[in-house]
Amino acid sequence: MPPTPPSSRRAADSRAAEPRPVEPRRPTADDGFLVVDKPAGWTSHDVVARVRRLASTRKVGHAGTLDPMATGVLVIGVGRATRLLTYVTGADKDYRATVRLGVATTTDDAEGEAVVRVDASHVERGDLDAHVAALTGDILQVPSAVSAIKVDGQRAYARVRAGEEVALAARPVHVARFAVLDVRAGQDDGLPVLDVDVEVTCSSGTYVRALARDLGSALGVGGHLTALRRSRVGGFGLVQARTLDDLGTTPDDQAVPVLPMADAARAVLPVRELSESDARALSYGQGIDPAEEPAGPVAAIGPDGRLVAVVERRGVRLRPAVVFSPA
């Protein structure tokens, strides 16, 4: 076979050296919030990773973990709005859930293995309502062992999966509403069970699957969650939420639309409307005179409608805790 002519080799080398076309990068999303309707089977970290790609930025975080089994409202901060997430994390929350009475599991939800199986067909509605009432209001709750709570710097669920026995301390939580919507008789591998649909409004840090566990334990039959959907976090509800599939339909040459920071702040904080001079002072990190704002965090909105800062009362002045529009 004759050798390849030098001119042909140079042409081949030239083609090999040509840079591959670079796919256009989606424009970076503006600073703001996305309210995502988390799908079942996804971790909160999975959602954040997907939003990072959609928003073309690594500066993405979430306010309040949802278990993989759960669906519903997950508030995502993009860009500078991640600094607002701390004011969302502590907000109260609404859930709809289904509690299965008759089976307790290692994780207090359907993801775990059954550890208790008891015929629950004898449970009376009056007893159910009484024990639901006992779990309403200010209560001490022992979080589920398979949770994101840190024990000596490591997540509790990681210790459990490593085979350790994890005993978490009870802590105060507030359950403002624990309402029974429906009770249905059913079967779990031939065992008579009761499926109880409930609605829960609770403080941050409350575990709905721990409520299911404690309800079943109080009734003497065991219990766990078979379904959980978060319908509200603070001022953010399902009506504002978008699915990841929906967000993925954003044209490649357009930034994913977000809720502007001022609107996001209005949903979680009381608001101080600023004059030009007050907006300027806060942008320099200076304090301003208080009006009738509470001592806690307040969203300071400038005359142009932008979020200037989150302020708090310190002494006799309102001073910026976080400045979003520096001078």
Q: What are the residue numbers of the active site?
A: 67
Best CA proximity match to 262, nearest among 312, 314, 237, 298:
298
Non-local (6+) Cβ contacts of 46 within 8 A are: none
Query: What CA–CA distance (Å, rounded) separates 48 from 67?
Result: 14
Taking every pair of Cα atoms in the chain, the longest distance, rounded to a whole number of angstroms, is: 95
Residue 6, number of CB atoms within 10 A of its CB: 8
Distances (CA, A) of 212 to 1, 135, 142, 197, 207: 79, 10, 12, 11, 9
Determine the distance from the C-alpha atom of residue 59 to the mean position of all C-alpha atoms in its chain, rounded to a whole number.
Answer: 16
Q: Give alpha helix (H) positions in 172-324.
A: 208-218, 244-248, 261-268, 276-283
For CA atoms 267, 268, 269, 275, give the dihedral sign. negative
Residue 219 DSSP SS3: coil
- Number of residues that this document lists for the chain: 327
Residue 11 sits at the vertex; the CA angle it makes with 5 and 17, to the nearest 5 degrees, is 135
Best CA proximity match to 263, nearest among 110, 100, 81:
81
